[in-house]
Copies of this chain bind each other. A is one copy, B any other.
Amino acid sequence: MEKKISKAVVRRLPKYHRYLTNLKESGVKKISSKELSDMIGFTASQIRQDFNNFGGFGQQGYGYNVEELLEEVKGILGLGQEYSVVILGAGNLGSALAKFNDFERYQFNIKALFDIDEAIVNKKINGITVHHTSELDEFLIRNEIDIAFICTGNSVAQELAEKAVSLGVRGIWNFAMVDLHLPSSVIMENVHLIDNLFTMSYFLKSK
């Protein structure tokens, strides 16, 4: 009975979340697919199609109740529950992510960082302890961790991701510039910054 939701739809959901949050904060009570379309840049038709994958949240002749729709989107996205996170690699990127307070705000709670650099092990970053990577196993056994952010060098990313997954981590957010090979049950998102920059370079050149 479960309807298959396409990845394209899922990738638009966070954007709906963002715009609806802003609308709610601005005190807007109702919105039509047409108005949302003008703001967000998707067609009104697509917006209605997207929401109707999950249920009929609107009302003919009226539109959508902003607050109600936002709650639905939050539920669909799985927000409003807490996630435990470890950051593997406390270099430039890992420590920058640790300092990002937006994650905590949405209840992605960063429990620990791991690194092999003795100079930072046992230090705290934004109040979160950096552990030595050799302690990762024990930490993952003792603590139920949902997500690992992979901020290590390319050479160890695969190995550490595998270890994390084997010890209960269900989601991998990969910032390393390699593609990870993990069981298909693992949820993985990649942020390949260099790939993104190269895409820009392509378009810059062709102008």
Contact = CB atoms under 8 A, between A and B. Distances in A.
B204 A146 contact: yes
Contacts of A78: 201-202, 204-206
A interface secondary structure, majority: helix
Contact of A187 (B14, B106, B170, B207): B207
Q: Tell me the number of copies of this protein.
A: 2
B195 A18 contact: yes
B185 A108 contact: no
B18 A201 contact: no
A128 B110 CA distance: 30
Interface string A2-43: 000000001101110110000000000000000000000100
Interface stretch (A62-70, A91-99, A136-144, A157-165): A91-99
B173 A200 contact: yes
A1 interface: no
Interface of A: 10-11, 13-15, 17-18, 41, 76-79, 81, 83, 92-93, 95-96, 99-100, 102-103, 106, 108, 146-147, 170-171, 173, 177, 179, 185, 187, 189, 191-207
Given A102-B194, A187-B200, 4 more contacts: A13-B202, A92-B95, A100-B193, A191-B193
29 contacts: A10-B203, A11-B199, A13-B198, A13-B199, A14-B198, A41-B179, A77-B201, A77-B205, A78-B202, A81-B205, A83-B201, A83-B204, A92-B95, A92-B99, A93-B96, A102-B177, A102-B194, A103-B197, A108-B197, A108-B201, A146-B204, A170-B204, A171-B200, A171-B204, A173-B200, A187-B203, A189-B196, A189-B197, A191-B193
